[in-house]
Amino acid sequence: MTPFLRRQRALADFTLAALARRKGKNIALIAVYSVVVFVLASAMFFAASLRFETTTVLEGAPEITVQKITLGRQDLIDGSVADEIAAIRGVTEAHPRLWGYYYDRINGANYTVMVPDDPEMMPDPGQIAIGEGIPRARGLEWAGAPVFLSRYEGDLKKFDVAKTFSRDSALMTSDLMLMNEADFRDFFDIPKGRYTDVVARVRNPNEVATIVQKGSNALPQMRFVTRADIARTYQKLFDWREGLLTALAFAGILAFVIFAAEKASGLSAEEAREIGILKAVGWNTRDVIAMKMWEGGLISLAAFLIGTVAGFAHVFFFGAPLFAPILKGWAVIYPDFPLSPHVDGLQLLTLALLTTLPYIAATVVPIWRTASADPDAVMR
């Protein structure tokens, strides 16, 4: 072992013994410090996991969505537009879709109602397939209970539930209601030949911009939305919500740093006497600062590990009940699905830098001022 490592090992042993002598104070400090790390870690882990889940879902989405805009609002589109989009070179498939939202006055929830593209998923007339969030929001306690939908006062239409999607696909299907095309047109009063929008798939994703340009020139009254546009919208949404929680966590970190700096600048008589004795027996200022950096590092490491592990368990084992409403958004139906752990080294490094460096800097500077003073004056 080199002299440097032997010196660091001796400093670490001495620091651990010093921390043990002030056990109660240091445990309280680590507990408060861990809570600050826990809040920031939970926000980072939860937002990163939602981004990962959203990216995974969008990988299967069509590359281009075409909408008709009338008076600045989305309007129903003619089915013939799908043929014009399909005729553009590079487009492999284009078809119109029927989908919309239904506001349930019973519980105040909004359901996404769609006619599925896959014929195998198409319910029979009078039947629907629903996500697991709908019976949960409606309080339907037995499987197979019919669903009654009302469009206006005095109207009531009954649908039999042909299928309920499992919790595994809750991120996409929690508030989803699949309906037969004839039932959809009848329920929402959509005329034949009219659709909500048109979706297109392209052969080469690198040609999306070119195809959008060609489509915009041929159909100037249409709006072309790409999958990348949707991904950027979700990214901004999660960044905003994560930033809100991070700002709150930073306020906690700032308060904690001020607290740590104040405590360090006003050393207790025992700590001041300890520094004075160390200087008197031959320790120089550099040794004292190194010992205090070990102390700050060990406290920060303990708080970082406790806060990070608690944040991981809070998000991925318990579903982040403290922050989920903020990060998911406010809604009657929350998708009930397990979050997949998605933590990388950059996240952990960022979290460590944000939480440990301010504390170490706040404690070392006042210690340096005390250690630089005359030992006799310090002990007095």
Query: pLDDT: is 252 or 112 the higher one?
Result: 112
Mean pLDDT of 17-25: 77
Q: Which two tokens stand for residue 348?
A: 């952990």
Whether 100 shows a pLDDT value over 80: the answer reads: yes
Question: pLDDT tier at 289 (50, 70, 90 boundaries)?
Answer: confident
Strand order from edge to edge, sheet including 99-104: 99-104, 109-114, 176-179, 127-130, 157-164, 147-149
pTM: 0.62
What 8-state DSSP symbol labels residue 168? Answer: G
Query: pLDDT: is 258 or 132 the higher one?
Result: 132
Q: What is the pLDDT of residue 199?
A: 92
Answer whether 128's CB lies under 8 Å from 116's CB. Answer: no
Q: What is the pLDDT of residue 145?
A: 79
Nearest residue to 287 via CA among 31, 12, 100:
12
Whether 78 shows a pLDDT value over 80: the answer reads: yes
Could you identify the residue written with the tokens 């440097």? Answer: 4
Grouping H, G, I as helix, E, B as strand and the rest as coil, residue 92 is: strand
Q: What is the pLDDT of residue 188?
A: 92
Degrees to nearest 5, angle at CA 216 with 185 and 86: 60
* 194-218 pLDDT, tens digit each: 999 999 999 888 889 999 999 999 9
What are the DSSP calls for 117-153, one per residue?
Answer: SSGGGPPPTTEEEE-THHHHHHT--STT--EEE-SST
Q: What is the pLDDT of residue 309?
A: 93
Q: What is the pLDDT of residue 132?
A: 82
Other beta carbons within 10 angstroms of residue 93's beta carbon come to 13
Query: How high is the mean pLDDT of the chain?
Result: 80
d(CA 277, CA 51): 54
Q: Which two tokens stand for residue 372?
A: 């630089």
Question: pLDDT tier at 221 (50, 70, 90 boundaries)?
Answer: confident
Instruction: Determine which of 67-81, 108-122, 332-346 has the lowest per-residue pLDDT on average.
Output: 332-346
Instruction: Determine which of 12-26, 74-88, 261-275 has the lowest per-residue pLDDT on average.
Output: 261-275
Q: What is the pLDDT of residue 331?
A: 55
Mean pLDDT of 112-134: 89
Instruction: Determine which of 115-124, 190-199, 255-264, 287-296 has the lowest per-residue pLDDT on average.
Output: 255-264
What 8-state DSSP symbol labels residue 190? Answer: P
Q: Which two tokens stand for residue 350?
A: 């960022």
Task: At 37, give phi and psi (nearest 5°).
Answer: -65, -40
Instruction: Determine which of 150-154, 222-226, 330-334, 335-339 has the lowest per-residue pLDDT on average.
Output: 330-334
d(CA 122, CA 283): 80
Whether 247 shows a pLDDT value over 80: the answer reads: no
d(CA 83, CA 85): 5
Task: At 225, give phi and psi (nearest 5°).
Answer: -115, 125
Q: What is the pLDDT of residue 186?
A: 93
Answer whether 103's CB lies under 8 Å from 333's CB. Answer: no
Q: What is the pLDDT of residue 322?
A: 76
